Structure 1
Amino acid sequence: MESAPKHKVLDWLNDNFESIFLVIGLISIILFITWQVIYRYVITQFIERAGAAVWTEELSRYIFIWISYLAVSVAIRKRSSIRVDILYDKLPKRWQDISWIVVESLFFCLTAVIAWYGWGQIERLLRFPQLTTALRIPFLIPYLILPLGFGLMCLRLIQRLWAQVRVCGLKDSCIGFAIVVIICAPCFIFEYIPPLTALFGYFVVLCAIGVPIAICLGLSTLATIISADTLPIEYMAQISFTSIDNFPIMAIPFFIAAGVFMGAGGLSNRLLKLADEIVGGLYGGMGLTAIVTCMFFGAISGSGPATVAAIGALTIPAMVERGYDKYFSCALVAAAGCVGVMIPPSNPFVVYGVAAQVSIGDLFMGGIVPGILTGLVLMAYCYYYSRARNWRGQEKKRDMATFGHAFWDAKWALMVPVIVLGGIYGGIMTPTEAAAVSAFYGLIVGLFLYREMSFKGMCAACVEACETSSVIILLMAMATLFGNIMTLEDVPGTIARTILSVTNSKILVLLLINILLLIVGTFMEALAAIVILAPILLPVVTNVGVSPLHFGIIMVVNLAIGFITPPVGVNLFVASGVAKAKLQGIARMALPMIGLMLLVLLVCTYIPEIPLCLVRK
């Protein structure tokens, strides 16, 4: 009888082990960085010689690294990843099941290597102890995440593999493991494979079979190290830590957390009511309301799919109920969700800013005009399309009094962009500090002002934010490894020289790069494309006189279109799931909207004064 409660406890720990640390860790670093801002502007005003709270940043960085890699284990259990699944979707069910054996076995190979050599780092730090700069704690403590975090990933992958073997059966499982051996064999059969052949050959093959892109980057780097001896293999563990020991990268989980907190705290309904007061009475009023709400919500979440999920769940059923075509409704919200990655805060801008060493604050300001332009052209299309079909807005009283009431009700939500942009551009906070303060603000609003987020909801929101950001963080860490091999082999320089040998025309170079990015955006997620392509394409555009800042705006606006282009149009998938509508029908309805967004892209590309008009000179 006593064993049953023990089993329940063990099952609960198995399901929630990482979550405990994620909730405590995320809340801690939000509070630490918020305290850092308060200390700088309040405490130091009243206490002489208070000094600087440098420990907060250092401690937050190390906690951030720990929770990022612990959250990957949660993503493994839920199979959350950024991957190319074109081939996977076409496979019969049996081969889809076998493909998971292949994917998770290869994933295990990478995590096992990093865990093993991560322990090597710990042994070196035991022999030659080092202390951190501010806290003076042994470096051994933060570096323990390498063997522990990646070891936990190995454990979760073994659990997933065991469950998948039971699904597939012995014969099909053996087929899956045999495919893994065949994929790995060239590294050990051939004494030497040219670095670029190994790097790009493995990357293309692994992407094609549906391995998560972060793992494709890491495994292709590992294959290159083994087959071409380009770098010491221990380097992989070292870079897995140092590449994300970076204060600006911490903005990503903070912005995601702010969006999740505000969404769970009753934000979406209030923004929807405000947008309805502004445009709801016009032709296509509900569609226009959806677009404006997406623009508001994008200014909080920084994520396209999150915007579509939060707003689409409310607006798509309402539009269908009022007689709108279901596929048009889905396509409109999916397209409007693209604005979420242009209007600040924007996770792609943070990733690009880190990768290209460009001011994230300037990138945020540069994204405002393209985001608003995209919203306006979609609103114009919605208006004329709806007018031709006599889709009217909801008939109800709208005047300054009702607008004032809706505005006042949404005031706490509308303060988030003010905090972020005002803090950054006013020189009060760094982007990471502004992100932490906005997450703290979102937490307070959800728990105490709107009072629609419970303690349990807060814990779930923390885990969701960590899981979502961990996929991005792992991608950036593995992209650093991949990029270092490319730098050693002078890939960016070679590509730049090749393109510039064909033409020196700025117009043609930008046109060719836009076409390349549009093609890449149809099968690769925006963040993955940025971390891989930004270092390659930057030398090309700077050689023809395009600033890294302007190119960052071009890149994000271009790849935002990829959110609604099949086969990897993430926003289309989210809208399809929300409305239970066929993807093909939504994609067909989205074509005119894609055309309009391409016009905005051309304007931003060839008239830089427009997107850069708000950037401080």
Structure 2
Amino acid sequence: MAEDTTIGGNTNHQKPPSENRSTLRRIWGFIDHRLEEILVVVGFAIFILLINLQVINRYVLTFIEIGNITTWTEEIARYIFIFVSFLGASLAIKKRESIRVNIVVDRFPEHVRNAIDAANSVFMLYFSFLMVSYGFNLINFQMETNQVTPALGIPMALAYSAIPIGFLLMGFRLIQTLIEDMKGMSAKDGLLTAGISLLFILPAVLFRDGSITLLLFGYFVLFIIFGMQIAFALGISTLATVLATDAIPVDFFPQTAFTSIDSFPIMAVPFFIAAGIIMGNSGIIQKLLNLSDELLGFLPGGLALVAIVTSMFFSAISGSGPATVAAIGTLLIPAMIKQGYNPGFSAAVVAAAGTIGIIIPPSNPLVIYGVVGQQSITELFMAGIVPGILTGLGLILVTFFISKKNGWRGDKESFSLKGTLKAAWDAKFALLVPVIILGGIYGGIMTPTEAAAVAAAYGLVIGMFVYKDLDFKGVYKSLASAGVTSAVIILLIVMANIFGRLITLEQVAETVANFVLSISENKIVILLLLNVFLLLVGLVLEALAAIVILTPILLPMAMELGVDPIHFGIIMILNLAIGLITPPVGVNLFVSAGVTKMKIEEVIRGVMPLLITMIIVLLLVTYIPEISMFFVELTR
């Protein structure tokens, strides 16, 4: 019989080893499955609240003399946003959500793909290790120099700690994915992984005295071909070039990672994403569909027209193409097929209509272009209105005639004013969203970032307390999803800024401009060449990645031609919107086809007339600047 150990009359009961192990497993399970997610959700909720308080302060608290809180709300929100972005990037790695090009890699056998993924993870892990190491050096410097934030006097070391902490967690998740990828690998597969890794190292060894530009872009293309996440492909290609040529110090990487997103305008991106996801998960989509159906459901192609108009409405909420396709396609594509529409055309209409999500404001790609190109986001939003509407009208016209020819109709016999008014009243809270966002921005009441934060808060209030179809679990999932989606974009911007340092140093933009201008000095010809180039880029590169990579290179050339940078932004976005419905990358095509488990070939056949329509709109906008610049010129 075991005896108790007593000290001072108290009995110490030791926990059995099995209970201790169980506790450790629970702690580990929390860290492994929930740590970043909970922090991201809490962080998102806090900075949405802070920016809404900032707006309330300007129009309410100032008048009742409670005091000005803007000086600290913006500062805290910015630093929380930076932490959330890097934590979300770690979560994205865990969930394997990223922007990458898989055209080549997907053609390999599974064991080769696993070897490639393992090699990619090794290099991403090494990059993360350096960011952690140099990140802590940066913190030490901040502490030694006693640098503090302007408003609250918080040590800058605390803010900068987002870099090493974020990349430390990313490294941890990369180790997990690496272990998973190497499970079941044979010795032959392990040698293949080592061979691919050696292939990645060779250029830096063989071309140490070569052209910095050639090495930088050569590495980037190599990593893209091998399916590395585009964000890391940008960062690692820069790192490899720097290690080979000593072009710039490596210790500037974490500094740039922080300063590139320590920006109030860039915070509009996660807010718009959150607003779109929150409202997509509530009853707003159904209300908009009902209204569109009352307006157009009686016409030939009624359901297809409803898809386009609803996409235009929802685009003014979500700012995302694929999100619009997923939300609307799930409801309407099966309904169209049931009504007798051609399945491929049904999916194609929704895919093409979803492109309006990145043209009409508020558009996340326009925000990214504005941040990267240092242009007014408000003016870009103004410039996107007419091209977005023109794209929608063009798609409506073509869809109408195709549907009339094939005898496809909606589910209503005639137009009903009473039904339309009722549907409009039911959708009033949904219709108020673009009024709040665009009215607030154009009326000078709010900045785009503030308008986006207000839209996110509005979506939460409407979903939880008005429509009552969004509970706390739904809010948690929406914010977690928004955190991951926005983090992928923000990490892309971080790495593009690191990549851009070498582009600036090597004067790549000037070289490209001189080359193009040597071909022709005719503005019409050069704009045509730019459109062809951007359309080709859209075939293989996701829109956001193309914007952050190409804007610093192409914008100076466009400005040298006398093209207004706002106008050029719309030209670029329209080209990349077309890329959403052109294979092999065409995200909208795959999302739309995935809704009904349809073959992608069927959707591609159906999208051709709609693709031609969008190219015509592109040419009109390119050569008639007044289409995009009309509202902008009124305010200048």
Offset at residue 190 of structure 1 (A): 5.3
Other-structure match for 1:114: 131
In the alignment, what sits opposite 2:229?
Answer: 212
Q: Counterpart of 1:610 in 2: which secondary structure?
A: helix
Cα distance change on mapping 1:5 and 1:320 into 2, 3 Å: farther
1:440 to 448, 454, 457: 457
Give 2:122's aligned residue. Answer: 105
* 1:239-264 superposed Cα distances (whole Å, 9 cap, x missing partner): 01111101110000000000011111
Residue 52 (structure 2) aligned to one of 16, 34, 45: 34
Q: CA deviation at 1:545?
A: 1.1
* Structure 1 unmatched runs, 5+: none
In the alignment, which of 58, 65, 71 is matched to residue 54 of structure 1?
71
1:398 to partner: Cα distance = 4.5
Structure 1: which amino acid aligns with 2:104? L
Q: What's 1:203 paired with? A: 220
1:139 corresponds in structure 2 to 156
Amino acid at match of 1:23: V
Paired position in structure 2 for 1:553? 570
Q: Give the 5 Å matches for 1:204-243.
A: 204-243=221-260
1:514 equivalent in alignment to 2:526: no
SS at match of 2:625: coil
Q: Percent identity?
A: 49
Classify the secondary structure of the residue corresponding to 2:185: helix
SS at match of 1:345: coil
1:23 alignment counterpart: 41
Match of 2:4 in 1: none
Give, as a single letter, the amino acid of the residue that structure 2 aligns with 1:288. Answer: L
Q: Which residue identity is paired with 1:486?
A: I
- Shift, 1:167, TM fit: 4.2
Q: Is the Cα contact below 8 Å between 2:122 and 2:178 reproduced in 1? A: yes
1:538 is displaced (CA, Å) by 1.3
In the alignment, is the contact (CA less than 8 A) between 1:509 and 1:541 conserved in 2? no
1:13 — aligned with what? 31
Write the distance in 1 (CA, Å) between the matches of 2:267 and 2:117: 31
Q: Does structure 1 retain, via aligned residues, the 8 Å contact 2:272–2:453?
A: yes
Residue deviations 1:292-330 (CA, integer Å, cap 9, x gap): 111111110000000000000000000011111111111
SS at the partner of 2:263?
coil
Q: Which amino acid aligns with 1:12?
A: F
Question: Structure 2: 5+ residue runs without aligned partners?
Answer: 1-17
Report the Cα distance in structure 1 between the residues aligned to 2:517 and 2:98, rounded to whole angstroms: 36
CA-to-aligned-CA distance 1:441-473 (integer Å, 9 cap, x gap): 111111111111111111110010010011110
Q: Which has the larger radius of gyration?
A: 2
Shift of 1:395: 2.9
- Structure 1 CA distance, aligned partners of 2:23 and 2:477? 24
Q: Shift in Å at residue 265 of structure 1? A: 1.6
Distance in 1 between the 2:186 and 2:414 partners? 63
2:407 alignment partner, SS class: coil
Per-residue CA deviations over 1:499-546 (Å, capped at 9, x if unaligned) read 122222111111110110000010001111111111111121111211
Specify the alignment match of 2:421 in structure 1. Answer: 404
Q: Distance in 2 between matches of 1:392 and 1:274?
A: 17
Where in structure 2 are the equivalents of 1:477-488 lying within 5 Å?
477-488=494-505
Is 1:255 equivalent to 2:272 in the alignment? yes
Residue equivalent to 1:128: 145
Once the 2 structures are TM-superposed, how far is the Cα of residue 436 of structure 1 from its aligned partner? 0.7
Pairs aligned (count): 616
Q: 1:173/1:460 Cα in 2 relative to 1: closer, same or farther (>3 Å)?
A: farther
Whole-angstrom distance in 2 between the partners of 1:25 and 1:464 = 13
In structure 1, what residue type is equivalent to 2:216? L
* Per-residue deviation, 1:173: 3.1
The Cα of 1:51 is off from its aligned counterpart by 3.6
Q: Structure 1: which amino acid aligns with 2:346? A: S
Aligned equivalent of 1:533: 550
Alignment of 1:321-360 (within 5 A): 321-360=338-377
1:92 equivalent in structure 2: 109
Q: Secondary structure at the match of 2:132?
A: helix
Report the aligned-residue RMSD: 1.4
Distance (whole Å) between structure 2 residues aligned to residue 125 and residue 78 of structure 1: 33
Helix, strand or coil at the partner of 1:564: coil
1:377 match: 394
Shift of residue 286, structure 1, vs aligned partner: 0.6
Aligned mates of 1:367, 1:221 — CA distance in 2: 33
**Is the contact between residue 110 and residue 219 of structure 1 (CA under 8 Å) also seen in structure 2?**
yes
Q: Does the aligned pair in 2 maintain the 1:54–1:134 contact within 8 Å? A: yes
Match of 1:543 in 2: 560
The aligned amino acid for 1:298 is S
Q: 1:322 to 1:463 in 2, by over 3 A?
A: same
TM-score calculated relative to the size of structure 1:
0.98
Deviation at 1:605, TM superposition (A): 0.3
- The 8 Å contact of residues 99 and 176 in structure 1, kept in 2 or not, is answered as yes
For 2:531 and 2:378, the matched residues in 1 are separated by: 24
| Cα shift at 1:8 | 4.1
TM-score normalised by length of structure 2 = 0.95
For 2:337 and 2:569, the matched residues in 1 are separated by 37
Q: Is the 8 A contact 1:349 1:556 kept in 2?
A: yes
Question: Does the aligned pair in 2 maintain the 1:143–1:241 contact within 8 Å?
Answer: yes
| Contact 2:269 2:486 survives alignment (8 Å) | yes
The one-letter amino acid of 1:229's match is D
Aligned partner of 1:592 in structure 2 is 609
**Contact residue 143 and residue 155 of structure 2 kept, 8 A:** no
Residue 501 of structure 1 corresponds to 518
2:203–2:215 Cα contact (<8 Å) kept: no
Q: What is the Cα deviation at residue 187 of structure 1?
A: 2.4
Deviations 1:2-49 (A, max 9, x none): 34465345323311110111111001001100100110111111217x
Distance 1:189 1:598 in 2: 44
Say which of 313, 323, 342 aligns to 2:330. Answer: 313
State the distance in 2 between where 1:202 and 1:403 align. Answer: 57
Q: Which residue of 414, 431, 435 maps to 2:448? A: 431
Pairs within 5 Å for 1:566-585? 566-585=583-602
The residue that corresponds to 1:421 in the other structure is 438
SS of aligned partner of 1:331: helix
Question: In 1, are the aligned partners of 2:298 and 2:414 still within 8 Å (CA)?
Answer: no
1:270/1:410 contact within 8 Å kept: yes
Give 1:154's aligned residue.
Answer: 171
CA contact (8 A) 2:207 2:215 kept: no
- Does the aligned pair in 2 maintain the 1:23–1:463 contact within 8 Å? yes
Q: Which amino acid aligns with 1:544?
A: L
| Matches of 1:378 and 1:443, distance apart in 2 | 32
More off after superposition, 210-219 vs 118-127? 118-127
Classify 1:52/1:459 alpha carbon distance in 2 versus 1 (closer, same or farther; 3 Å).
closer
Alignment of 1:284-303 (within 5 A): 284-303=301-320
Quick one: distance in 1 between partners of 2:190 and 2:614?
A: 45
